[in-house]
Amino acid sequence: MLDEVEAEVIGVSFGANGYTTADQAEDLTRRLGLSPGDLVLDVGGGRGWPSRYIQELSGCGIVVTDPIFEGLEASNRLDGASPAAVCTGSSLPFQPAVFDAVVHSDVLC
């Protein structure tokens, strides 16, 4: 049932914890001009939607961050490999120059 609602609302059945649609994620990927070799920081990435989709579309690398450990745990389980960090958007443990782009969708921080 939840899968069906998610597919109808955001366009995929991913197990997301937000409302960013597949169309919005595709538009974001196009606008950023991402390609393999780029590294993207996802702030407030929750369970990994839509950054995993952006990764799939573009071939870029992704680092997911979120203050809620359980969301990141699900994110890594879904992806299997990408790094993740538990932190808020105002306490990121990275140097900005490390990333080619930063995304934060459906996040207030």
Ligand X SMILES: C[S@@+](CC[C@H](N)C(=O)[O-])C[C@H]1O[C@@H](n2cnc3c(N)ncnc32)[C@H](O)[C@@H]1O
Binding site for ligand X (CB under 6 A): 16-18, 20, 43-46, 49-50, 66-68, 71, 88-89, 105-107, 109
Shortest Cβ contact with ligand X: which residue?
18
Reduced to 3 states, what is the DSSP secondary structure of residue 76? Answer: helix
Inter-CA distances, 6 with 1, 15, 21, 59, Å: 9, 8, 10, 24
Question: Which CB sits closer to ligand X, 11 or 18?
Answer: 18
The least distance separating ligand X from the CB of residue 60, rounded to whole angstroms, comes to 16
Closest approach, Cβ 38 to ligand X, in A, equals: 18
Element at 4 (helix H, strand E): helix 2-10
Nearest to 37 by CA among 96, 99, 105, 82: 99
The nearest distance, CB 82 to ligand X, in angstroms, is 14
CB 35 → ligand X: shortest distance, Å? Answer: 22
